[in-house]
Amino acid sequence: MRTGRRDFMPIKGIVNGIIRRLRPRAEDPTARVAELWARTVGENFYALTRVRGMSEDTVRIDVAGTAARAELESFYRDPFLKALRDAGLQHLKRVYFHVTDA
């Protein structure tokens, strides 16, 4: 006969722990936008840029050089905005290209 006390974890605690581990993590919105940007512009231009962040309806992208910025604004802004809309990110309506010193 057992005389010791056994401590049991309530089933609710076990179930909640399992659900927490199995739940998909919240996706980083900046990483999602950066992925769409990379697919839109390709490797060469992606190497010259960096998605810095988002605020309300604007995506900010740092660009290494004015020539690259001019080409990105002319040829890649609209396809990128379309990719954002297609991905369900309709609230992002503007792209701001910022030329960096590097």
pTM beyond cutoff 0.85: no
Residue 10 lies in a domain: no
Q: CA-to-CA distance for 35 and 13, rounded, in angstroms?
A: 37
Residue 14 lies in a domain: no
Residue 95 lies in a domain: yes
pLDDT at residue 23, as a whole number: 64
pLDDT at residue 92, as a whole number: 95
Torsion of Cα atoms, 63 then 46 then 33 then 67, to 10°:
30
Which residues contact residue 43 at a Cβ distance below 8 angstroms, ignoring those fewer than 6 apart?
none
Q: CA-to-CA distance for 72 and 45, rounded, in angstroms?
A: 8
Give the pLDDT of the chain (102 residues) as one tens digit per residue: 555 666 665 777 777 777 777 766 657 889 999 999 999 999 989 999 999 999 999 999 999 999 999 999 999 999 999 999 999 999 999 999 999 975
- Bridge partners of 54, per DSSP, are 59
The domain containing residue 75 runs over which residues? 29-99
CATH of the domain at 58: 3.30.300.180
Residue 19 lies in a domain: no
Q: CA-to-CA distance for 40 and 83, rounded, in angstroms?
A: 8
Residue 20 lies in a domain: no
Residue 50 lies in a domain: yes
The domain total for the chain is 1
Residue 85 lies in a domain: yes
